[in-house]
Amino acid sequence: MKYYIRILLLAGFILFLTAGEKKMKYNPLTEAEKAIIIDKGTEAPFSGKYYNFDENGIYTCKRCGAGLYRSTDKFDAKCGWPSFDDAIPEAVKQVPDADGLRTEILCANCGGHLGHVFTGEGFTPRNTRYCVNSLSLDFQATPHQSPTEKALFASGCFWGTEYYLQRAQGVISTTVGYTGGSVDNPTYEAVSSGTTGHVEAVEVTFDPEVISYEELAKLFFETHDPTQKNGQGPDIGSQYLSKLFYFDAEQKSIAENLIKRLEAKGYAVATQVLPAKKFWEAELYHQDYYQNNGKSPYCHFYRKLFDE
């Protein structure tokens, strides 16, 4: 009897191991991919297929197919490798590198080498850069995703500007920051001094199938005083001026037409219409300020200016 029990236990153990092997089957890898994923190598900078790549979707592990990063968290760090400022929760494991100086990142599912993670560089408000080898990645495009467009507005304190814009149906995301000046990597303190040429602004990503650029521009004009020349409300200074930055000729034409309509009503519009320049994201504590603090704008308000 003991003999048969041992046979059954052994058979069960073999089945357990076999099941585990099935779960851990990996995708076939080329020699170049093995050198990165298994042997922890690094591909040459600017050589990877996903460095200059901006499609919408999910980046997955080349070895096991697990989801690792979202395209919405990808940014250009100009370092030569794909860079992300966030990972899918629980998808990436961090371990101290063998050199004792860096932190290695691994696929949490299969342990495949991805690259390294760095913090404190200030590229984005998250202050994190997952530097990943393209050879460690695959990509799954997101199907049927509506095309998006961007708009860029400045109407005084960016907290209040964002408050109204982010509530409009069809707005996908908003980011507060600085633009219009000539100083690279501006800080809030520097912009507040009024010496950088930058204004506080809000970059809006929106779905044009839900809300048009004209509707957004109308909301921009109707949630501040476009006739004030020295700031907005109690916020006085060049960093608080009313400015609309256009990305193409159509946006410029729409903005200028709206100003003409306001001027025809007797408003002395001070808003400047300018070509979009590089937008610098503001510090993390400025993002979604009123939403995070449960407060309301003190210098922005809504009033209807345009007839339908």
Enzyme catalytic residues = 131, 157
Give the burial class of 205: count Cβ atoms within 10 A of its Cβ; 0-12 exposed, 13-18 middle, 19 or more buried: middle
Rounded Cα–Cα distance for residues 290 and 296 (Å): 6
Q: Report CA dihedral (10, 11, 13, 14) to the nearest 10 degrees.
A: 120
Rounded Cα–Cα distance for residues 200 and 188 (Å): 9
Closest CA to 130 of 66, 214, 59: 59
Q: Which helix (H) or strand (E) holds 294?
A: none
CB 252 within 8 A of CB 152: no
For the stretch 172-202, what's the b/e string if a residue is b when 16 or more beta carbons lie within 10 angstroms of its beta carbon?
Answer: bebbbbbbbbeeeebebebbeeeebbbbbbb
Closest CA to 69 of 158, 133, 154, 5: 133
